[in-house]
Structure 1
Amino acid sequence: MTSPRTMTPDLDRATSAAPRRLVILGSTGSIGTQALDVVERATDLARPESDAQHPPFEVLALAAGAGNLELLARQAVRFRVAAVGTSGTADDAARLGELLADAARAASSPVPEVLYGERAATELAAWDGADLVLNGITGSIGLAPTLAALGAGHRVALANKESLIAGGPLVTAAAAGTGLTNALIPVDSEHSAIAQALCSGTAAEVERLVLTASGGPFRGMSRAQLAHVTPEQALRHPTWDMGAMVTTNSATMVNKALEVLEASLLFDVPLDRIDVTVHPQSVVHSMVQFVDGSTLAQASPPDMRLPI
């Protein structure tokens, strides 16, 4: 099992005068946009009374698909990144370049370097000088960027559970190979909650992990009712604001199955010692049961910006 200490923040780095340098993959998606909101809010909070010469964060690079190039260009110029990547075609890259030039001209900002194609995110994940790579890509296509970031010695804030599940020992071995004590930092609310609860005990003291599930929009429906549900209903999650794929997977409970696998891999806990309990309010995100009979639960409002 992962030691509780491996999931604690790097406090020396976090409180130093130099900014924490970030690469954000999937910046136009739900995780990416909320992460940039956290960066912006943290910068605003640090500004009024701080005499530090630097903001708390510096965004070095962004990557996203080609579905919202306008937003990607605005993000890149707003955060003055050095490079921006899209998984799209050469035509998409050309269009992105035009949008960047226009936005940069209006903001009197430099135009970042543009990367494109299926390896754009992977190249940016290994970007020199990064302290942390947030992988908010959806799906197993996030595996290569995760491995690239770890291979470059970067810490990875992992919202892309599919890369850990698909890569399994490849990812855990790459994390161990960095020599960092917290190379993989979980961003999913359930796994972030477990990591925080583990700070209060040693690995040998853990009896079980308990993940919570809201039950989604179909909780309480009969088998006959479930036969007639629609995709539109699946996208109306009662408590969480997430991307379309994760929201749909949450409605079918597939996402919870993936989270159980993720917890087993992250914390080295056998599957038969991981439980799931339905908690419609989504306030308690996970619990850790210790061998002495005590249970620690992590609770917070259902807002992904908190685990981010």
Structure 2
Amino acid sequence: MPQPIFAGLSAFPLTPADEAGRVDVEGLQRLLARLVEADVQSIGLLGSTGTYMYLSREERLRAVTAAVECVQGRVPVIVGVGTLRTDEAEALAQDAAAAGADALLLAPVSYTPLTEEEAFRHFEAVATATDLPLCIYNNPSTTHFAFSDGLLQRLASVANIKAVKMPLPKNMEFAAELSRLKPNLPDGFAIGYSGDWGCSDALLAGADCWYSVVAGLFAKPAAALTKAAMQGDAAEAARLDAPFMPLWDLFKTYGSLRVVYAAAEHLKLLHAKPPRPLLPLSSDIMPALEAAIAALEG
């Protein structure tokens, strides 16, 4: 019986590219091969860590094609298709489906703030543009749009919308949030979380998925932490989470994207920099990052 796509550990890798935004296919496939080897449950391609909003339609397709070629069906590939215009998001979804993606991830990207009705129609159109299952990307810190419980319930009735990727709740009250959401959503509708430093607690509370930035580089320790948390072993999860703490602190201070670019460079996996106008971490932060990586690998 096939495993659910939106469950377990979903690893979100960087999408290395040059200064002109052309995807480094070789570098991307090198990152993806590590994820396949670590036996993650899915790969979140072109998420926020994958800098989807900094890439053209052509380069996004190049990334999806390279990923499908590398993974060869061994791990489901979930592709981010967020963009400003609905017609362009539909086209991105169709590109991903044609290239062999297994599922879609959609954020409500906007310049003019969206109403709930506008968000609903946008998601409805993109979800029905292909037959692929779609995960709602609820990321208000970036998109400045937060999904109400009522909107999630309404969207869950749309064909192909099967999951939501949630931000960390206030005061890390996962059990209360899951208890509030689940009774009003269809059976099998998956609720997962991003915000790496809280996801062990989310899984222990009954969340379905950890959408993980750190797993894009450190998939094996993240997979071990996921397994312990999903088995309800709080003591083992706490033990496995402890070495991540210095990295979580850097994520919170400098932003996870900048940190993982610097970490990939330190590990000699890539020679890419964040897309402009983002700047790399300054050299004076590198000793702390190196120590955080050493703690995780030790």
TM-score range (shorter-chain normalised) is 0.3 to 0.5
Find the structure with the greater CA-based Rg.
1
TM-score by length of 2: 0.38
* Structure showing the higher helix proportion among its residues: 2
* Structure showing the higher strand proportion among its residues: 1
